[in-house]
Amino acid sequence: MIFVDTNVFYSVLVKTEFSLTARNIIMMPSKLATSPTVMSELVFISLRKLCKERYGTKNYSEFRRFIARKGYEPFEEDIELIFGLIRERDIAMLPVNNDLDDWRKAMTRYRLLPNDAMIVSTCLMHEITDIATFDNDFKRVEPLKIVGPGDKKASDS
């Protein structure tokens, strides 16, 4: 099983320098998984960018006020696209590791931001050693191996 990080999904949905590679990762013949942590990041980052482009919000506070006023109705199709990607590819949604000690240890041991540490502790809890990501911070996590579409191990999973 391969854990898929936020930036891979984002690059499938939004044109980036990694979009072709991201699409190839999503199409690999491997069982893929992610977590609510990743989904939260993906929805937040995607909608905040769309809100900036469409409505001119400049920062987190303006985005938050926009959502408080208008709700998610202006983004219904975008939200369906995000969740549809997960459903259509049948990507497993893993429960996060709620052990605060595991999370804290991942933060300090690997010098990770909190959400990345939550992803690491979740992968380790589920005995996942392969992660699809463009985030070089995960290279510091010895138990994890970054995989891509040309990786033989990923094709065999």
pLDDT digits (tens, 9 = 90+) for 54-81: 999 999 999 999 999 999 999 999 999 9
Amino acid at 137: D
Over residues 4-17, the pLDDT tens digits come to: 999 999 999 999 99
Exposed, middle or buried: residue 2 (CB in 10 Å: 0-12, 13-18, 19+)? buried
- Tell me what pLDDT residue 65 has: 97
Exposed, middle or buried: residue 46 (CB in 10 Å: 0-12, 13-18, 19+)? buried
Q: Residues 85, 9: contact at Cβ < 8 Å?
A: yes
Nearest CA-CA partner of 3 in 47, 49, 39: 39
**Average pLDDT along the chain:** 92
Q: Residues 23, 12: contact at Cβ < 8 Å?
A: yes
Could you give the number of structural domains in the chain? 1
- Tell me what pLDDT residue 149 has: 61
> In which band, very low, low, confident or very high, does the pLDDT at 137 lie, cut at 50, 70 and 90?
very high
For position 13, which CATH number holds?
3.40.50.1010
Q: What is the C-alpha separation between 140 and 82, in angstroms, rounded?
A: 29
> In which band, very low, low, confident or very high, does the pLDDT at 148 lie, cut at 50, 70 and 90?
confident
- Residues spanned by the domain of 146: 2-156
